[in-house]
Amino acid sequence: MLLSSAASSATSSAASPPGTVRFATFNTSLNRPAAGQLVRDLAGGGNAQAQRVAAIIQRVRPDVLLLNEFDYDARSRALRTFRTQYLAVAQPTGGAPIRFRHCFSAAVNTGEPSGMDLDRNGRTGEPGDALGFGAFPGQYGMAVCSRYPLDRARIRTFRRFLWRDMPGNLLPPDWYGEAALARLPLSSKSHWDIPVRVSRQLTIQLLASHPTPPAFEGPEQRNARRNHDEIRLWADYITSGKASYLYDDLGVQGGLRAGPAFVIAGDLNADPGDGASFAGAMAQLLDHSLINSADPPASVGAASVSQRQAGANGAQRGDARHDTADFGDGPGQPGNLRVDYVLPSRDLAICGSGVHWPDGDDTVRLASDHRLVWVDIALAAQCKDSSAPTGQ
């Protein structure tokens, strides 16, 4: 059934209203240039950047949270430390401690050596030669934390799906040789389908990813093309009859079975109308008939910052209120963009949403170049109250 979306947004400084569940995505920029450095930086709970990131999460208080650019380590030491020594501790500029009982993290393609010269600069073993751009395995990783149980037995990951196996793919012509095509995955990090049991009656599939940015390339547009197809994976996955070609990391074929509610979330590195994305990249999701993309999350701060910074922002076509990332504004730079998304399926009622971008708040500026994006979803058929105040 099709449910209506609430027109107004809930405040981002309090927990989700009763009868709702708050989904959020946050590119935390908690990535480091060397393996193990994030573990060392977080030890003791005194890292200033991580404190600011935790403070933002404590303010917004999501129920289900995707973290992008959080370095992965096989023993999850960094994630465990962040949960116990930052999120579970009241931060000076945050709110009350917040605890997530259920978390998931797994290996990603970033930094995984290919043994080949994938960027064709005449050298091998560099970040641009990895299966996903990165200096070491796990850099720019992902993690999901939830107050609600995760159905671990039904989690699907698509880290090993080869780009060449997507029919009609946008592989750059004559760029990769046969040996590279036999190894190069589509996903620059990974794609995860994680069932979240938000109530006895409702399980929501969290579809999480972090496509490569459409930048750092030549006229072949290898990264913009990959970004487009990484986004397309989810568009095909949710569409009946279009994902028979897909296989997950356990060899199970096919996409999302018809019916389940879902939320697509992540730093998708694509703005609907600005930036360097391949044509139509975000339209694959924003115009999809099964996705509730009307009334996108917004903030007053994003519009104020865009106007104040000027530069590249002045030439953009998109509404600055929907920006989610504070990028460079000088010549040749993209300006601020909407690249972070929480996109529920059409059968979920949106009761509120926002981009956490308080105007003039140094906590957000110094934490990350991205802003936390959140959406409140009704646990029942409709929202109890659609008159919530506007979010920050």
Range list of H helices, the chain: 37-42, 48-60, 77-82, 178-181, 222-237, 283-286, 300-309, 362-367
Give pLDDT, residue 360. Answer: 85
Burial 300-310 (b: 16+ CB within 10 A, else e): bbbbbbbeebe
Give pLDDT, residue 302. Answer: 96
Q: How many Å apart are CA 319 and CA 11, to the nearest integer?
A: 20
Query: What are the Cα distances from residue 278, in Å, to 6, 158, 213, 225, 275?
Result: 31, 22, 11, 6, 9
Give pLDDT, residue 94. Answer: 94
- Read off the tokens for 22: 């708050």
Of 68, 133, 122, 57, nearest to 95 (Cα)? 57
Burial 339-373 (b: 16+ CB within 10 A, else e): bbbbbbbbebbbbbbbbbbbeebebbeebbebbbb
pLDDT tens digits, one per residue of 212-238: 999 999 999 999 999 999 999 999 999
For residue 14, count other CB atoms closer than 10 A to its CB.
11
Give pLDDT, residue 381. Answer: 81
pLDDT exceeds 80 at position 392? no
Give pLDDT, residue 361. Answer: 85
Give pLDDT, residue 389. Answer: 38
Of 71, 75, 77, 91, nearest to 28 (Cα)? 71
| Long-range contact set of residues 359-365: C-beta below 8 Å, sequence gap at least 24 | 359/300, 359/301, 359/304, 359/305, 360/301, 360/304, 361/301, 363/52, 363/55, 363/56, 363/93, 364/52, 364/56, 364/301, 365/326
Query: What are the Cα distances from residue 367, in Å, to 69, 308, 347?
Result: 12, 20, 34
Least confident of 6-20, 59-73, 157-171, 335-349: 6-20
pLDDT tens digits, one per residue of 159-193: 999 999 999 999 999 999 999 999 999 999 999 99
pLDDT tens digits, one per residue of 80-121: 999 999 999 999 999 999 999 999 999 999 999 999 999 999
* Ranges of each domain in the chain: 20-378
Burial 37-49 (b: 16+ CB within 10 A, else e): ebbebbeebebee
Range list of H helices, 97-183: 178-181
Query: What are the Cα distances from residue 340, in Å, to 39, 66, 121, 288?
Result: 25, 11, 31, 17
For residue 22, count other CB atoms closer than 10 A to its CB.
25
pTM of the model: 0.95
| 20-378 is a CATH 3.40.30.10 domain | no
- Over residues 28-56, the mean pLDDT reads 98
pLDDT tens digits, one per residue of 253-300: 999 987 889 999 999 999 999 999 999 999 999 999 999 999 999 999
Of 212, 216, 237, 214, nearest to 224 (Cα)? 214
Give pLDDT, residue 388. Answer: 43
pLDDT exceeds 70 at position 32? yes
Confidence tier at 12 by pLDDT (50, 70, 90): very low
Question: Which residue has 């409702």 as its token pair?
Answer: 202
Q: Distance between alpha carbon 209 and the CA centroid of its chain, in Å? A: 6
Give pLDDT, residue 15. Answer: 82
pLDDT exceeds 60 at position 391? no
Give pLDDT, residue 384. Answer: 83
Q: How many Å apart are CA 51 and CA 45, to the nearest integer?
A: 8
Range list of H helices, 75-132: 77-82
Rounded to the nearest integer, the mean pLDDT of the chain is: 93
pLDDT exceeds 70 at position 30? yes
Q: How many Å apart are CA 132 and CA 185, to the nearest integer?
A: 8
